[in-house]
Amino acid sequence: MKKLTVIIPTYNEALHIEAAIKSVLFADEILIVDSFSSDETIQLAKRYPVTIIQRDYEYSASQKNWAIPQAKYDWVFILDADERVTVELKEEILEILQNPPETITGFWVYRKNHFVNQHINYSGWQNDKVIRLFKKNQCQYEDKRVHAEIETSGNLAFLKHKLEHFSFISVDQYIAKLNRYANWQAQDYDYKTGRITPYHLFFKPTWRFIKHYLVQQGFRDGLPGFTISYLQAYAVVMRYIKLWILRKSKK
């Protein structure tokens, strides 16, 4: 069987870190990539057979691309601290590692998302997927500050079982993340966005709400679905406000 390194990026993840580690104790190496947490993340992680490395955080893709070459083994699984590998997903990963297909360099995995302790079935999150199991020498993340995905010259396949994703335990936490993303997206969008107009500030956010709430059936998730749809529209507005501020600061 091929050996596996699990990489867990962390920053102040005391709430999640033990459960995340416990879900991947089957791995041959667990690498905690910490951004100098100020809570008990490191102390809690040290209770388990893990290796801890630290680096100042720039953005997610940069942090992961720095960590991947430091994995001891060729096959890598990236696990965010708020995610859990289920027993079924664990068994599927181990089965693949017994005889990995030669032409496949990475695997998509779908996520079962939770928002404020409720499983979200719709709201645009129903088809959420990420590439998490891959060969380290043939894969790396796009150099993007937000929503970067794995790039590879090989072929990709899908895992059958889902990751559990406990994304946000409060609305405040979600808003804080959206604001951070808006700052990073402003930099990504600066080179590809023309003059900011009412189209960016009104029509795009309105469509984003309609997309999540009506087209992607967020109304079926009740109040959490409305909240997600509303905050997704808010995120679009903030992206362009932050971009406007960024451009003003350059003058």
CATH architecture of the domain 4-167 equals Alpha-Beta Complex (3.90)
The whole-number pLDDT of residue 117 equals 85
Q: Check: CB of residue 233 under 8 Å from CB of residue 206.
A: yes
Q: Domain locations in the chain?
A: 4-167, 170-250
Over the range 34-69, which residues count as b (16 or more CB within 10 Å of their CB) and which as e? bbebeeebbebbeeeebeeeeeeeebbbbbbeebbe
The four Cα atoms 233, 234, 235, 241 give a dihedral, to 10 degrees, of 120
d(CA 105, CA 154): 5
Q: Check: CB of residue 230 under 8 Å from CB of residue 178.
A: no
- 116 torsion bin: left (phi>0), alpha (psi -120 to 50), beta (else): left
Please state whether beta strands 4-10 and 83-85 pair in parallel, antiparallel, or not at all (unpaired).
unpaired
Residues 6+ apart with CB under 8 A from 99: none
The whole-number pLDDT of residue 167 equals 82
What's the Cα-to-Cα distance from 180 to each of 48, 132, 139, 245, rounded to whole Å?
Answer: 31, 23, 26, 14
pTM for the whole structure: 0.86
Q: What is the mean pLDDT of each run of 10 residues along the chain (251 residues)?
A: 97 96 98 98 98 95 96 98 97 97 95 92 93 96 90 95 90 89 89 92 96 96 96 95 91 73
The whole-number pLDDT of residue 145 equals 85
Q: From 119, 99, 135, select the one nearest 1 (Cα to Cα).
A: 99
The whole-number pLDDT of residue 173 equals 86
What angle do the packed helices 171-189 and 222-250 form, to 10 degrees? 40
The whole-number pLDDT of residue 180 equals 87
What's the Cα-to-Cα distance from 32 to each of 4, 75, 178, rounded to whole Å?
Answer: 14, 16, 24
The whole-number pLDDT of residue 98 equals 96
